[in-house]
Each structure stands twice: as structure tokens, then as C-alpha cells.
Homo-oligomer: A and B are copies of this chain.
Amino acid sequence: MGGDHAAATLLGPGDDAAVVAAPDGKTVVSIDTQVQDQDFRLEWPNGYRTTGFDVGWKAAAQNLSDINAMGGTATSLVVSLTLPPETPVAWVEDLADGLTAGITELGAAKCSVAGGDLGRGREISVTVAVLGTLGGSHAVLRSGAQPGDVLAIAGTAGHAAAGLAVLESAVNVDALQPEQRIFLDLQCRPRPPLAAGPAARAAGATAMLDISDGLLRDGLRLAAASAVGIDLDPAPLRALAEVLRPASELLGTEPMAWVLGGGEDHGLLATFPLNVQLPPGFTAIGSIQALGSNESPSVTIAGRSADTGGWDHFAH
């Protein structure tokens, strides 16, 4: 192994297993599946057809994000494809292209596809397991947030949810303006901020996870694992929502629901001690609170309950 950008795959496809470098004696690992009609539709109500490239890219992005969320960098992917017999070969080749493009364009320079498995089924299913390295450092867990810490976000919030709403709308894909289309593109090909995870670890992040199910739900997971409360600031949430206006105005909806409930952007949610300068790409959006003796971990907005609809008060 040479510098930071040397390929980590020591033995690639062709044998019963691959061999991947783990120079510091630890391997980070995660696994994630996308299933047709559950995680994506081949054709959407607005006429968009999911490409193999989209599915490959998204599989890469989701998995790379899991390593990012630990503060690590990805070293390899192994891929298992289940395909109905009628799946066009070109669609599968496009999926392979999307996987490698996702790896490259998202900046996972050490990473490559080390191996795979192919089988038949009634529906398309793509499972990727990702390996990564912490580069001699520690993993950032969900459980380390401390009262007084700053809560910060990296990457986008709600873009993929806005894109999902556009895909499920009656607004034909060909009629979209570029500033509307971007949300659809991010739903189909998310762009997790891969530099941000290791940067957060290096800066002393106390806890971290990726936002795959929405700010409120993933925030509550971090709060529960750390046995703390999270209080969100309305102002940065409003700024995050403002960015979604081109989609919300198109559909006549309120963007704050996407900011708080939308996953799949695969942004990072991390906590930092108050005296730490946030690394590039992170924006403070709240703070960590101690729990009283009878309190459960929770997520509030300016001290008010953030359960369904509870954020309406702060939306405007």
C-alpha cells in the first residue's frame, strides 16, 4: 500500500473471495439492499424510468455513506445482484457503470468493486456490502453525544424526499426545469458528503450517524444511543427548507416536512464539543441537552415537541 489513494483491493474478482487491505488491523463493514418496488420503481408516476445506472449509483452511495458515518473511508464493495430473467443485459451493464461512477464521482478514491454474486429472482434486488478503514483512528459511534455539544449537519437535507415527491407527482419529468429536476436527480443518485465523515472524526466529533430515514428519526436514534435530548434551532431548519422551494412551489407543498422527515440524502448528523470549530461542510442546527431523571431521549425544536406536525409552528 502506498499513499492515501492506493487501491485497497489486493485480490479482486475471480476466486471464491476477495482480499482487501486493512493496514491498521481493523475493517469497518456494513450491508444494504435495494429492492425493486420497495426502494425504487422501474417507472414512476411522472414518467421517469429508473436506469440501471441510478440503481448502481444509489447502491454505492448508500453503502459508502455508512462508512462515512463512522468516520471511515471505503476500501471495497462486494455486490450481490438478483435479477429476473427478463432483465435486459444493457440495464445490468448500466448498473455496473453506475456503481463505479458513484464510487469515483463521490470521491471514494481507494475503493473498487472487489467481487460479487449473481442469481435469479422475481424482482430486482441489489445488495452491497462495503468495507472501509479508519486509518488508524477510532470509529465515531452514535452513543457519544454529551450535554452541551453542538449538533451539526453536513450535506443536503430533504432533497431526496422532494425528488421522491416530484417522481410521484403528475408533473411530467420532461416538463421539469433544471432547478426542479435537481431534486429528482438527488433521489435517484444521492451525493453523500464523503469527505465530511473523516473530517468530523478528526475534528473530535463525539457522535455521528448518516441521515437515511430523516432528521427527526435519525436524530432520535442518536439521542437514544447517547441518552440525551436534542433541541433543534428553527433558523437553520428554515434555511434548509428554503433551498427546497423550487420543488415545494411546483407541488404546492410545505418544504419543512422534507427537511425533518426526508431521508436518502445521506447527509451526516454529528455532535461536537462546544469549543470545536466545525469542519468544512458542517452547519450547526441544534444542541445536546441533558435528560432529567424522568425524561426520555427526544428531539425538540426550540424546546417544543417535534412529533408529527409539531414543527408547523416554526415553518414560516
Show the binding face of A for B, using Cβ within 8 Å: 10-11, 14-33, 35, 37-39, 65-67, 69-70, 72, 76, 78-80, 82, 114-117, 119-123, 125, 127, 129-132, 134, 139, 141-143, 209-210, 225
Q: Write the chain B residue with the least CB distance to A120.
A: B38
B contact residues around A123 at 8 Å (CB)? 121-123
Q: Is the CB of A31 within 8 A of B121?
A: no
Complex alpha-carbon distance, A127 and B127, angstroms:
7
Q: Is the CB of A66 within 8 A of B16?
A: yes
B contact residues around A139 at 8 Å (CB)? 11, 15, 17, 19
Q: Is the CB of A29 within 8 A of B119?
A: no
Q: Write the chain B residue with the least CB distance to A124.
A: B121
Q: Is the CB of A120 within 8 A of B80?
A: no
Complex alpha-carbon distance, A134 and B20, angstroms:
11
Given contact pairs A16-B66, A20-B26, A31-B80, a sample of 18 additional A-B residue pairs in the complex whose CB atoms are under 8 Å apart: A14-B142, A15-B141, A17-B28, A17-B66, A18-B28, A19-B26, A19-B70, A21-B27, A27-B27, A29-B129, A30-B117, A35-B82, A35-B121, A39-B119, A82-B125, A121-B125, A122-B123, A129-B129
Q: Is the CB of A121 within 8 A of B38?
A: yes
- Take A120-B35, A123-B121 as given contacts and tell me if A17 and B67 are in contact as well, using a CB distance cutoff of 8 Å: yes
Complex alpha-carbon distance, A37 and B122, angstroms:
9
Q: How many copies does the complex hold?
A: 2
Complex alpha-carbon distance, A19 and B15, angstroms:
24
Q: Is the CB of A23 within 8 A of B20?
A: no
Q: Is the CB of B117 within 8 A of A32?
A: yes
Cβ-neighbour of A142 out of B15, B19, B79, B114 (below 8 A) = B15
Output the least CB separation between A155 and chain B (Å).
14
Q: List 24 A-B contacts (CB under 8 A).
A: A15-B69, A16-B30, A16-B70, A16-B209, A16-B210, A17-B67, A17-B132, A19-B134, A20-B27, A21-B26, A23-B25, A27-B131, A29-B78, A29-B114, A30-B78, A31-B78, A31-B79, A31-B115, A31-B116, A32-B117, A33-B119, A35-B119, A80-B129, A129-B129
Complex alpha-carbon distance, A164 and B31, angstroms:
30
Complex alpha-carbon distance, A33 and B82, angstroms:
8
B contact residues around A119 at 8 Å (CB)? 33, 35, 38-39
Q: Is the CB of B29 within 8 A of A76?
A: yes
Output the least CB separation between A14 and chain B (Å).
7
Residue of A33, A114, A131, A143 ringed by the most chain B CB atoms within 10 A: A33
Q: Write the chain B residue with the least CB distance to A78.
A: B31
Q: Is the CB of B21 within 8 A of A127?
A: no
Identify the 10 closest CB pairs spanning chains A and B, nearest first: A129-B129, A22-B22, A17-B30, A16-B69, A127-B127, A31-B78, A35-B121, A33-B80, A16-B66, A27-B27
Q: Is the CB of A27 within 8 A of B35?
A: no
B contact residues around A20 at 8 Å (CB)? 26-29
B contact residues around A31 at 8 Å (CB)? 78-80, 115-117, 127, 129
